[in-house]
C-alpha cells in the first residue's frame, strides 16, 4: 500500500501511483486546508463534548488534548435476536439517546450487507444522519464505511452532507471488510479490494478540496469532477481506518491515519507488535504529533461478578462462533492474505473457551473490574479510546444492555475523564 498524498501546489496535479490526478489551476496552498467556517454556538459545545479530539495539524491527523482523557464510544451493529426490523431501528435510536444523555463521546455504526438475522444497518450513513438529527452533542461515526463497495465520489458527497447535517460531529471510519460474500453479491472481486480501497480513499480526500479534478486509475476514471458540498469540518471529518493484519498497520501509519484495532483474532501481544510498526511508520513519514488508537472491544458491566460472567455468556459465545465462520469463509480467497495465517486465526478463535474469552478478549465485570481491565489495556496498547460493543452476538436483553451502558457511563467512564 502506497502513501496517499498530493502536492501542496495543486496546479501540478500529477501523483505517483496507478492513477493520475489532474486538478484545475489554483493558487498554491497547503494540502487539505480550506477557509474555516464560523460554526454556530451549538457546534462549539459539540467540540468541547469530545475532549479526545483537537483540530487537525496535518491531513488525517487528530491529536489528543490530554494524555489522561480517553474517548468512549459504543458500537451499534447487532440486531437483537428475535427482534423485528422495526424494533431494531428503534433500539438503535434509543441507545443513541441514552449515549447522548449519559455523556458518551460517540456512537459508531457498522455497515453489514445481506445478513438480515444479524443487522439491519446496511445504509450506515443514513442511520447516522437520523441519529445526528436526534442528538445535539453526541458525535456519530462509521465503523466502518466499506470503501470498495461504493463509488468514492458518491461516498465523498454523502459523508460531506452528513458532516453538515451533524454540524461537524461526524467521525469517518473506513475499511474494506473481511466479509467476502458481500463482494460476491455486488459482483466485485474480493481480490481487488485492497487496490480499490487505495484508489477510493485517494479520490475522497481529493474530492473534499472542492476543486475540479480528474482521475485515471485502474478501477475509477472520470474527468472534471467537482464535489459539493465540502465537509463542514476543516479539512474534513477525522478519518480512522480499521487494521487487522500485520502488513496493514505500517501502511496506515504511513498514510497518517488514526486506527481501529480489535482483539477478536489477535492477542494483546500481537497488537503491541503491530502498533509498534504503525507508530514507527507514522514517525518515519514525518507526520506531526502522536497517532490515535481506538480499541473496539466487547464491554459488559454488571452489579455483581456472577452477573457479569453469566448474563452475556450465550450471546458472547454465539458471537465468537460467528466470527470463526466468517474467518474460515475467506481462507484461501484472493485479497484475504496468506491462507495458512487465515486458517490459524480461524482455528484460534474456534478453540477459545468462555474462560479464554473472558480473560483475553473482553472487558466484563463490575464497574471496578472493568476499570481495572480497561486501565491495563490502555497501558499495554497505548490506547486513546474505547469503542464498546455492548451486545456482541445480539442475545443480551435490551434492559440488561441499557443497564450495562448506564454503569459504563456513570461508574466506569469518569475514571478515564
CB count in 10 Å sphere of residue 82: 9
Q: Which residues of 266-299 are buried (b: 16+ CB within 10 A; e: fewer)?
A: beeeebeebbebbbebbeeeebeeebbbbbbbbb
**DSSP β-bridge partners for residue 141:** 108, 171
Taking the CB of residue 160, how many other CB atoms lie within 10 A of it?
A: 25
DSSP 247: T
Grid cell in block for residue 390 = 455492548
Tell me the three state secondary structure of residue 346.
helix
Are the C-beta atoms of residues 145 and 125 closer than 8 Å to each other? yes
Query: Is the CB of residue 181 less than 8 Å from the CB of residue 200?
Result: no
Do residues 59 and 235 touch, judged by C-beta distance below 8 A?
yes
pLDDT digits over 62-110, tens only?
344 445 799 999 999 888 888 999 999 999 999 999 999 999 999 999 9
First vs last Cα of the chain: how many Å apart?
36
Report whether 175 contacts 317 (CB < 8 A). Answer: no
C-alpha cell at 227: 464535489
Helix %, strand %, coil % of the chain (to 5): 45, 15, 40
191: which DSSP letter?
G
Q: CA triplet 201, 204, 210: central angle to 5 degrees?
A: 155
71-76 and 106-109 strand pairing: parallel
DSSP code string of 22-49: EEPP-----TT--PPP---HHHHHHHHT
At residue 88, the pLDDT reads: 94
Q: Considering only CA atoms, which of 223, 235, 230 is closest in space to residue 23?
A: 223
Q: Which three cell numbers mark 46? A: 459539540
Query: What is the distance between the alpha carbons of residues 217 and 236, in angstroms, rounded to a whole number?
Result: 23
- Tell me the DSSP string of 166-185: TTS-EEEEEE--S-HHHHHH
pTM recorded for the entire structure: 0.84
Q: For the chain, list the domains and their CATH numbers.
A: 21-34+58-416 (3.20.20.30)
Q: Cα 256–257–260 angle (5° rounding)?
A: 145
Phi, psi (deg, nearest 5) at residue 130? -65, -40
142-152 burial code (b ≥16 CB/10 A, e <16): bbbbbbbbbeb
Q: pLDDT per residue over 263-301, tens digit each?
A: 998 999 999 999 999 999 999 999 999 999 999 999 999
Task: Tell me the residue ranges of DSSP E strands in 340-407.
Answer: 363-365, 385-389
How is 92-138 classified by DSSP, letter by letter? HHHHHHHHHHTT-SEEEE----S-TTT-S-SSHHHHHHHHHHH-SS-
List, for the chain, all residue ranges whose pLDDT scores fall below the cut of 70: 1-67
- What is the reported pLDDT for 19? 59
Residue (of 118, 164, 113, 119) closest to 140 by Cα position: 164
Q: What is the DSSP string of 254-297?
A: HHT-EEEEE-SS--HHHHHHHHHHHHHHHHHTT--S---EEEEE
Using CB atoms within 10 Å of the CB of residue 317, give its burial: 0 to 12 exposed, 13 to 18 middle, 19+ buried: middle
Amino acid at each position: 500500500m502506497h502513501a496517499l498524498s498530493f502536492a501542496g501546489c495543486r496546479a501540478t496535479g500529477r501523483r505517483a501511483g496507478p492513477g493520475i490526478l489532474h486538478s484545475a489551476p489554483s493558487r498554491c496552498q497547503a494540502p487539505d486546508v480550506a477557509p474555516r467556517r464560523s460554526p454556530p454556538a451549538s457546534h462549539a459545545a459539540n467540540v468541547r463534548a469530545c475532549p479526545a479530539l483537537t483540530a487537525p495539524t496535518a491531513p488525517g491527523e487528530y491529536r489528543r488534548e490530554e494524555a489522561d482523557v480517553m474517548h468512549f464510544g459504543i458500537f451499534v451493529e447487532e440486531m437483537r435476536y428475535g427482534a423485528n426490523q422495526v424494533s431494531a431501528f428503534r433500539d438503535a435510536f434509543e441507545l443513541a439517546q441514552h449515549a447522548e444523555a449519559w455523556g458518551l463521546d460517540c456512537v459508531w455504526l457498522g455497515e453489514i450487507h445481506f445478513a438480515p438475522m444479524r443487522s439491519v444497518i446496511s445504509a450506515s450513513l443514513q442511520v447516522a444522519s437520523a441519529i445526528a438529527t436526534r442528538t445535539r452533542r453526541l458525535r456519530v461515526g462509521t465503523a466502518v464505511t466499506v470503501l470498495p463497495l461504493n463509488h468514492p465520489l458518491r461516498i465523498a458527497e454523502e459523508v460531506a452532507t452528513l458532516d453538515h447535517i451533524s454540524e461537524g460531529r461526524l467521525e469517518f471510519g473506513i475499511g474494506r471488510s473481511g466479509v467476502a460474500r458481500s463482494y460476491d453479491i455486488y459482483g466485485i472481486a474480493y481480490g481487488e479490494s485492497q487496490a480499490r480501497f487505495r484508489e477510493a480513499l485517494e479520490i475522497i480526500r481529493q474530492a473534499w478540496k472542492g476543486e475540479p479534478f480528474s482521475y485515471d486509475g485502474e478501477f475509477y476514471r472520470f474527468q472534471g469532477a467537482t464535489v459539493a458540498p465540502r465537509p463542514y469540518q476543516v479539512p474534513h471529518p477525522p478519518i480512522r481506518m480499521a487494521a487487522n493484519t500485520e502488513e496493514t498497520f505500517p501502511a496506515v501509519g504511513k498514510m497518517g491515519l488514526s486506527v481501529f484495532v480489535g482483539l477478536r483474532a489477535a492477542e494483546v501481544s500481537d497488537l503491541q507488535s503491530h502498533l509498534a510498526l504503525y507508530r514507527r511508520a507514522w514517525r518515519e513519514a514525518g507526520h506531526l504529533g502522536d497517532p490515535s488508537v481506538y480499541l473496539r472491544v466487547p464491554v459488559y458491566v454488571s452489579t455483581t461478578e456472577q452477573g457479569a460472567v453469566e448474563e452475556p455468556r450465550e450471546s458472547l459465545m454465539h458471537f465468537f462462533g460467528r466470527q470463526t465462520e466468517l474467518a474460515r469463509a475467506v481462507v484461501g480467497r484472493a485479497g484475504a492474505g496468506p491462507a495458512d495465517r487465515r486458517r490459524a486465526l480461524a482455528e484460534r478463535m474456534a478453540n477459545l473457551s468462555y474462560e479464554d474469552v473472558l480473560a483475553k478478549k473482553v472487558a466484563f465485570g463490575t464497574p471496578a473490574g472493568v476499570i481495572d481491565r480497561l486501565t491495563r489495556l490502555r497501558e499495554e496498547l497505548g490506547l486513546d479510546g474505547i469503542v464498546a460493543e455492548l451486545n456482541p452476538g445480539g442475545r443480551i436483553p435490551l434492559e440488561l444492555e441499557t443497564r450495562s451502558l448506564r454503569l459504563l457511563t456513570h461508574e466506569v467512564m469518569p475514571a478515564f475523564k
